[in-house]
């Protein structure tokens, strides 16, 4: 399942970056696809891109804590299983601890995947709605000196 999601995300990135002359990616424009890609890379980043900073930090926090919890309890369960094998007793509490910690690890893992998917879908939906509600204007100011440089300014205005 995760492989299919990963393939879809990579396909979206490649379609967004497709150019006949060169392979360039421009993620500076405000589009729902860019918000989706940002959330796929790091949960909560797409929400920040959509000017929902608090929601972004909450989503990132839930994701980070659940990933940490999943790995912590997975390592703890492996240690309990090793102690159970060393002891060799069939009626040992280490096996019960192993099963309990493994189940907790799986729950944390499911929460991590769910928060990651929520972040991706939410970022896309909110960006799609906001791009309809707001007009996106882009201003470019070019100034060339001896060496030459470009200054670009982009902003969104309420329409």
**pLDDT computed for residue 24 by the predictor:** 52
**What distance in Å separates the CA atoms of residue 64 and residue 74, rounded to the nearest whole number?**
15
| pTM of the shown model | 0.66
Percent share of the chain, pLDDT over 70: 63
pLDDT tens for 16-65 read 555 444 445 566 777 888 888 888 999 998 888 888 899 999 999 999 99
Structure tokens at 140: 């470019």
Sign of CA dihedral 52, 54, 59, 61: positive
| Residue 44 DSSP class | T
CB 114 within 8 A of CB 65: no
Residue 142 has pLDDT above 90, yes or no: no
| Residue 99 DSSP class | H
Domain extents in the chain: 2-158
- C-alpha radius of gyration, the chain, whole number: 23
| Residue 20 DSSP class | S
């Amino acid at each position: 399942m995760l492989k299919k999601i990963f393939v879809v995300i990579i396909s979206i990135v490649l379609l967004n970056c497709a150019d006949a002359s060169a392979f360039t990616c421009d993620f500076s424009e405000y589009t729902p696809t860019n918000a989706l890609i940002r959330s796929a890379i790091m949960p909560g980043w797409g929400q920040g891109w959509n000017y929902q900073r608090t929601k972004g930090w909450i989503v990132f926090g839930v994701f980070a804590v659940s990933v940490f919890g999943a790995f912590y309890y997975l390592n703890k369960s492996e240690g309990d299983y090793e102690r159970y094998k060393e002891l060799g007793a069939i009626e040992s509490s280490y096996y019960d601890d192993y099963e309990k910690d493994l189940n907790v690890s799986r729950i944390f893992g499911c929460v991590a995947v769910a928060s990651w998917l929520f972040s991706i879908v939410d970022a896309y939906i909110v960006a799609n709605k906001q791009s309809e509600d707001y007009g996106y204007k882009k201003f470019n100011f070019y100034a060339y000196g001896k060496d030459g440089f470009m200054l670009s300014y982009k902003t969104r205005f309420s329409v």
